[in-house]
Amino acid sequence: MLAQDDIYPTSAPPGYEYVLRDEPAFDPAIHLQLEYPEKIWMLSDLGYDEHFISRFASPVAATSPARLLSDEGIAVLEDITRKLQPYIRYDSAGPRVPAALRGTTHRSRFIRDLCLSPDITAFFSDMFQTSLLPHTITHQQGHMNFQPRELSKEVDTWHHDATAFDWVLMVHDPNALQGGRFQIFEGTRQEGWELIRSGKSIPEDRIITPNFPGPGYACYMQGCTVFHRASRLEELGFRSSLVQSYVSRNVKVPDPNRIEWIEISEHGAQDRNYMLERQCAAAEWARHRSWVARHRLNELLAEMPFDATPEQVSQALRHVVGDLNDLIALLQHGPVSRQEAHRLRDALDLAQLA
Ligand SMILES: [Fe+2]
């Protein structure tokens, strides 16, 4: 069993509570059914070069869908998911997910224990050749996407993730619903953005639509490197996916997890669930970057040779404190427009590759 680094809060943030009194306890022997995927795409298969790959914690990009939950497991999760629907955040005017549910690990003990499962973490780490742990930011655990209220909206538009690693599990039966398919671009994230931002569409012959045999199957991916989406529904109906994110203990590479400190919209201010999450954001980010810095400090103490040059020492210290200073500057500056946040994120993506 992998240690979980003792970083998860033992009490829920203000405003959250476990709302389901009768949910079964998560039991990996009953609820999990971890099976290996048939296909694994490496970063090189998506067109990334050696330099890019050297800046990331794993050479693996994504897998085809593989069974994650047993029949018993998916039955419990579907029941809990339906009961959590009153907490969905609807944002039809936003550029990304029109219907999402976050903070689920603070509302369902079953989802919390599923998302923190050491069995899944070890399985995922082994496949992706890097030591993972469930995401340091609790709101990046157990994120759920739902069917939008209108058919004209994609369930989730083309993007790469703001978190390093994740699996995307289908809670609904993808074969019982027209549309709403999880899809991957067979190309790099830079190329994907260039196509979308120049007004072109992603070529059909470069879209991979993985076949999910049923609910309870998941694609695993290094989501920050995989350009993907969930297509629009062709009929209205129950659709839900559970996205569980992870960080890698390899902190020698740049931290690919991204914060977007965006001004609160009028819609957001009226959404109680959004505001609950929002009031945790600064502390969540402080926890994440402190965890990264702590690991980097430990490595510095273990590895710094006595004959290191002043330049090498400065560089090592910057590697420890750079992300902390960046967060302080960001919080002191205050929230920015969504456009500016995206510009900053692109600039950081580029800087970390340099
Ligand atoms: Fe995503």
According to the model, what pLDDT value does residue 246 have?
Answer: 98
Q: To 5 degrees, how large is the angle CA 282–CA 260–CA 338?
A: 130
Q: Answer yes or no: is 247 within a domain.
A: yes
Residue 14: Cβ-neighbour burial (10 angstroms; 0-12, 13-18, 19+): exposed
163 C-alpha to ligand 1 centroid (Å): 9
Which residues does the chain have with pLDDT short of 70?
1-5, 92-97
Q: Which residues surround ligand 1, an ion (CB under 5 A)?
A: 161
Residue 90: Cβ-neighbour burial (10 angstroms; 0-12, 13-18, 19+): middle
According to the model, what pLDDT value does residue 327 have?
Answer: 95
Q: Answer yes or no: is 273 within a domain.
A: no
DSSP class of residue 203 equals P
Residue whose C-alpha is closest to residue 185's, from 148, 220, 225:
225
113 C-alpha to ligand 1 centroid (Å): 22
Q: Answer yes or no: is 86 within a domain.
A: yes
Q: Answer yes or no: is 281 within a domain.
A: no
143 C-alpha to ligand 1 centroid (Å): 10
User: Residue 6, Cβ neighbours under 10 Å: how many?
Assistant: 5
299 C-alpha to ligand 1 centroid (Å): 31
Instruction: Please report which residue ranges of the chain form alpha helices under DSSP H.
Output: 28-31, 50-54, 71-83, 109-115, 118-128, 189-197, 266-269, 272-278, 281-303, 310-333, 338-353
Domain that holds residue 119: 28-260
Q: Answer yes or no: is 76 within a domain.
A: yes
CATH code: domain of residue 44:
2.60.120.620
pLDDT 10s digits, 29-57: 999 999 999 999 999 999 999 999 999 99
165 C-alpha to ligand 1 centroid (Å): 10
Q: Answer yes or no: is 1 within a domain.
A: no
Largest distance between two CA atoms of the chain: 66
CA-to-CA separations, 142 to 155, 173, 241, 324, in angstroms, rounded: 17, 18, 10, 26
212 C-alpha to ligand 1 centroid (Å): 17
135 C-alpha to ligand 1 centroid (Å): 14
239 C-alpha to ligand 1 centroid (Å): 16
Q: Answer yes or no: is 268 within a domain.
A: no
241 C-alpha to ligand 1 centroid (Å): 11
Q: Answer yes or no: is 161 within a domain.
A: yes
According to the model, what pLDDT value does residue 93 have?
Answer: 66
Global confidence as pTM: 0.94
Residue 268: Cβ-neighbour burial (10 angstroms; 0-12, 13-18, 19+): middle
166 C-alpha to ligand 1 centroid (Å): 8
Tokens of 124: 């995922």
Domain count within the chain: 1
According to the model, what pLDDT value does residue 265 have?
Answer: 85
- Phi/psi for 86 (5° steps) reads -60, -15
Position of tokens 């009226």? 270
102 C-alpha to ligand 1 centroid (Å): 14
92 C-alpha to ligand 1 centroid (Å): 18
According to the model, what pLDDT value does residue 94 have?
Answer: 67
305 C-alpha to ligand 1 centroid (Å): 40
Position of tokens 């502390």? 283
160 C-alpha to ligand 1 centroid (Å): 6
Q: Decide: helix, strand or coil at residue 312.
A: helix
200 C-alpha to ligand 1 centroid (Å): 20
48 C-alpha to ligand 1 centroid (Å): 19
Instruction: Please report the sign of the dihedral spanned by the C-alpha atoms of residue 86, residue 92, residue 95, residue 98.
Output: positive
